[in-house]
Structure 1
Amino acid sequence: MNDSPDTPTVRVAVGDVAGRDADVLAVARQFADRTRVLETGPTGAPGGPHVYATVDGRTALYGAVTETTIERIVSAAEDGRLLTGEAEAMAVGEEPPTPESGSLTVGTPRVLDGFGWHAPDAIPNPIAPEVREDPDDAIRTVERVDLRGRGRADVAGDEPLAEYWNRTRDADGDPMLVVHANDADPETGADRLCGVSAAGRVWGAASAVAEIVGAEDIVAFAPAEDDLLADRLEAVGEWQVARADSSFRVGEPTMALEALEGNDRIEARRRPPGPEEWGLYGRPTLVHTPRTLLQLAELWQNPDAFDAEAADPGTRLVTIGGDVPEPATVELSTGAPLSRALDAVETPDAARYAVGGRFGGLTRNLDTPASAPAMTGAGLGTEGAIEVLSTDRCIVATVGERAAFAREENCGRCVPCREGSKQLHESLRGVYDGTFDAGDIRELARTMRTTSLCAFGEAAARPVKTALSEFESEFRAHAKGRCPAGACGGMQ
């Protein structure tokens, strides 16, 4: 096959957990002769698998591609043609086309820009050498805009990154960096998406951070059961890829370190000192998510796009799931309302929402900006997830299931989380027996939030606390023997 720039090219976005896109890729390769077939990562948008076909400098984007349609797309490319009538968008030049409407147009794609177009191991816009050569200036840039971590799996959480880097640089021992891509929150998908679509870019940012803080070792932490993510991280070839069974608790940074050390019992570590000072095998260890690293890469490449006056500069990736036909991940400016993310999916009428993952806050509307301070102030979680809850879902049962999850999944090390989650679950079960004391439940939630050892216990009572604020009448109805949603007669 001729690999000149004029060679017809078909890009197949592969990374769907369901595996449909892998079959499409196999058929594309089967029928390609003069056409180059490239495997890329998913776009994050619903309606896949997505395919880009480029012929004679023109590119067509196709959605919901099947094994039958990819055969026709490749056959047309072999003949020097594009199936323009079936394309969702067309473009001339070396950039991917963007539809005029639909999920791929939602938000402000900076981190997501190029997902589905570039090979997963590519680094299309390398970080400038001067960032690595002048660590102090690189940190000052991060300090100037007050860039914060993304995701509960990040050691910085929603706090300023530069503070953690400075503590690592000042700590005794040889620093190291863990790229945490093993967060098993069922409602979040952004870190996996970044890993399978842009492993090369994640590596580029990770290596820059490592040089800035003086870390010689980088470990990428992946789920044992996710072969595609691990394979794409390993394809970069510049770090050690470690795998462990994914679980919700391993999403907490110190419990991730326990798993990496191979400990039989995974428990949260006491702080201080934090991992940035005493981490993996006692070494100062930064734990950053792929989302955080790609945000850093964008900052160093385009600092003018970050408003230093904003409370939470940059963008945030938000995954929309729950009662929708297909989940989607979009990128929102931190000043944009969360409601804008819903433009990417079809949602039921009069839905309610859980914002922030498994332990997200429940709300009736999404007017809150997508910044960490705004979401925290509204009692919502900042995990980058919106779970759509249709009106036939019982709110009491929903928060009860999450309390049961906290009861089963907590590590058991601290009393407020271990015993608090048990008491919380029992209190919610009691609602069905006619026992309901909103004051007691609120006080229990406050105690868990303020005294638990780690973020697990701090967040575990958030669903109940916010549900009481927004939907207390539904709890009172259950205590009188009636489910307003008509969905339940009990709770797990």
Structure 2
Amino acid sequence: MTAITTGDHLVIRVAAGDPDRGSSLSTAGFDGPIVNVGPTGVPALEPLIAVTAAGRTALYTHCSTADLESITASVEETGDVDGADPDAVVSHAPDRNRLPTAPLPGLRTGDRRVLGACSWRRPTSVADHKAAGGFASGDAETVLTVGNSLNGRGWGDLCQDDPLDETWRTARATDGDPVVVVNGHGSPADTLLLSSAPFEVLDGASVLASTVAADRIIVYASSEDDNAVKTVSSAVDTYPDPAAPMEVVTGPKEYRAAEPTMAIEAIEGNHRLEARLRPPGPERVGLDGRPTLVHTPRTLAHLAVGLREGIDEQTRVMTVRGDVDSVATVELSETQKLSELVDTVGVDGSFKAACVGGRFGGITRDLDVGIGVEALNNADLGTDGIVDVLSDARCLVEFVGQRASFAAEENCGRCVPCREGTAQLASLLRNVYDGEFDAQAIAELDRVMASSSICVFGERAGRPVRTAIEAFTSEFKAHAEGRCPAGTCLEPLEA
């Protein structure tokens, strides 16, 4: 099959997060070159129709079957890609192999190195991926060198925020045949890669398996991510000459199931998921007692692209959501700032704060912070790649209270600091509504949880509350006095 990214012939792409909806458009009775591609990472734009010819692409957002009929008729009549009043038109090289930037929400900035295949190449097309330089291999030393320059991405990664190569060397030197686990559970960015660019992820997994002499590659995903599971399963079936046999395993939907050792528990078939004590870490004793490397799709896709294109300028794939005009997963340079990330979509209302770093990220008023690991850590923010934007209509006490309650309900229960600490944290926040705000007790509880929990769930569960108190002390005091500045907690206060 010929790649759709080569030459200057006409191609009409249909991108949709719902594959059934995309298929209904692309099979609506037309004889033209209409192909299904994966989701963009910006659901508000989808179904997105991209009409490409001779180095120009017209983008039509949120299309119906009737829209596709109109677009196709216009192209057939005029021969122009932009004859049906597109939302954006961009020029690019005729053989471009990644979605170009466009003046649309979520697509305005960034070169989409890791997300390049998303909504531009067919997710399971061997020809498309090969034409983009995919399926390339690398010798072990080159892979280790690149791994030294890459940090693990996401809380589901065994090496989150740390260079990868030392963990790889440990697994390679440990007795037993290593296993590579692709932990695609939970993160919107990881789900997007499995749904729209699975070969990038599998390239990274395969070259890593070759480097550490692994004899098994397991792609692990939530049982609820139907499209991701279906797409990556198809990619596994068609992947040419993998370094080790590949398989897809699904696990429970619970948030905690993404923690690296609990992911291993789920793959082993254990019904009660509990974090494992470390040391030894999974790189020494993991799946079935074998050395196991657990990496997110983001990490492995960065590895694959880094081997192919170099790592001089690194990027981060991040999801911005909450009180925004359009939820989006985007890719920006590590030199860019949170403000630029939020600007790609726009705030719905007036900006008040952001929770940076996922479920247990840090609360900040300041978006003048770089998105790289060092900058985020220095600002006491999280690096999980998710930013929840909060408008001035939000109550911070209510927001972090929900996070604390979630932690109390969803922790695995194995270690006392997390199990009891999260319950106490939720109780201390409820006390605020009863007129008792003890910031010192909350800070001390957070310190104990962060220093003595056995996994990152407990270590970080108190961060949203602690950082919210630091940035919005007056709101907590107001609630203790019976007032909600945002006006959203009046009923709880009156009750």
**Counterparts of 1:3 and 1:32, CA distance in 2:** 20
Match of 2:143 in 1: 138
**Counterparts of 1:198 and 1:72, CA distance in 2:** 29
Give unmatched runs, 5+ long, in structure 1.
307-313
Taking structure 1 as the reference length, the TM-score comes to 0.91
State whether structure 2 residue 166 is matched by structure 1 residue 163: yes
Is the contact between residue 108 and residue 315 of structure 1 (CA under 8 Å) also seen in structure 2? no
Amino acid at match of 1:349: S
Amino acid at match of 2:370: P
Amino acid at match of 1:163: E
**Counterparts of 1:74 and 1:373, CA distance in 2:** 48
Match of 2:463 in 1: 462
Taking structure 2 as the reference length, the TM-score comes to 0.90
C-alpha offsets along residues 212-259 of structure 1, whole Å, 9 cap, x if unaligned?
111111011122122211111111115201112211001100001111
Is the contact between residue 328 and residue 345 of structure 1 (CA under 8 Å) also seen in structure 2? yes
**Counterparts of 2:140 and 2:188, CA distance in 1:** 31
Is the contact between residue 7 and residue 36 of structure 1 (CA under 8 Å) also seen in structure 2? no
Match of 1:126 in 2: 134
Match of 1:43 in 2: 40
State whether structure 2 residue 29 is matched by structure 1 residue 13: no
1:457–1:169 distance in 2 versus 1, CA, 3 Å: same
Is the contact between residue 136 and residue 308 of structure 2 (CA under 8 Å) also seen in structure 1? yes
Once the two structures are TM-superposed, the CA of residue 460 in structure 1 deviates from its matched residue by: 0.3
Match of 1:310 in 2: none
- SS at structure 1 position matched to 2:330: strand
Match of 1:296 in 2: 303
Once the two structures are TM-superposed, the CA of residue 453 in structure 1 deviates from its matched residue by: 0.5
State whether structure 2 residue 31 is matched by structure 1 residue 23: no
C-alpha offsets along residues 346-368 of structure 1, whole Å, 9 cap, x if unaligned?
20213211111111111112111
**Counterparts of 1:110 and 1:57, CA distance in 2:** 19
Once the two structures are TM-superposed, the CA of residue 200 in structure 1 deviates from its matched residue by: 1.3
Once the two structures are TM-superposed, the CA of residue 336 in structure 1 deviates from its matched residue by: 1.2
Match of 1:309 in 2: none
Match of 2:106 in 1: 103
Give unmatched runs, 5+ long, in structure 2.
240-245
Matched-pair identity in %: 43
Once the two structures are TM-superposed, the CA of residue 335 in structure 1 deviates from its matched residue by: 1.8
Amino acid at match of 1:50: L
State whether structure 2 residue 152 is matched by structure 1 residue 149: yes
C-alpha offsets along residues 373-400 of structure 1, whole Å, 9 cap, x if unaligned?
2211211111101101111211111111
Match of 2:319 in 1: 319
Once the two structures are TM-superposed, the CA of residue 345 in structure 1 deviates from its matched residue by: 1.2
Residues 100-109 or 402-411, more deviating: 100-109
- SS at structure 1 position matched to 2:45: coil
Once the two structures are TM-superposed, the CA of residue 25 in structure 1 deviates from its matched residue by: 3.3
**Counterparts of 1:427 and 1:3, CA distance in 2:** 59
C-alpha offsets along residues 271-307 of structure 1, whole Å, 9 cap, x if unaligned?
011111111111111111110011111211122524x
Match of 1:244 in 2: 251
1:259–1:339 distance in 2 versus 1, CA, 3 Å: same
**Counterparts of 2:178 and 2:306, CA distance in 1:** 23
C-alpha offsets along residues 74-113 of structure 1, whole Å, 9 cap, x if unaligned?
3334454434352211436233554256531223422122
Match of 1:311 in 2: none
Match of 1:372 in 2: 373
Alignment of 1:45-124 (within 5 A): 45=42, 46-55=44-53, 58-79=56-77, 80-87=79-86, 88-91=88-91, 93-95=94-96, 97-100=100-103, 102-122=105-125, 123=129, 124=132
**Counterparts of 1:180 and 1:304, CA distance in 2:** 23
- SS at structure 2 position matched to 1:86: coil
**Counterparts of 1:249 and 1:399, CA distance in 2:** 18
C-alpha offsets along residues 33-60 of structure 1, whole Å, 9 cap, x if unaligned?
1x12211112223422221123566532
Amino acid at match of 1:451: S
Match of 2:269 in 1: 262
**Counterparts of 2:222 and 2:176, CA distance in 1:** 28
The two structures, once aligned, show a CA RMSD in angstroms of 2.2
**Counterparts of 1:102 and 1:128, CA distance in 2:** 33
State whether structure 2 residue 451 is matched by structure 1 residue 443: no
Amino acid at match of 1:319: T
Residues 355-364 or 51-60, more deviating: 51-60
Is the contact between residue 431 and residue 479 of structure 1 (CA under 8 Å) also seen in structure 2? yes
**Counterparts of 1:49 and 1:119, CA distance in 2:** 15
**Counterparts of 1:361 and 1:304, CA distance in 2:** 28
Once the two structures are TM-superposed, the CA of residue 72 in structure 1 deviates from its matched residue by: 1.3
- SS at structure 1 position matched to 2:249: strand
Match of 1:216 in 2: 215
Alignment of 1:400-479 (within 5 A): 400-479=401-480
Is the contact between residue 361 and residue 462 of structure 1 (CA under 8 Å) also seen in structure 2? yes
Number of aligned residues: 471
**Counterparts of 2:476 and 2:297, CA distance in 1:** 39
C-alpha offsets along residues 166-213 of structure 1, whole Å, 9 cap, x if unaligned?
110111111010111112xxxx41101111110111111110111011
Once the two structures are TM-superposed, the CA of residue 64 in structure 1 deviates from its matched residue by: 2.2
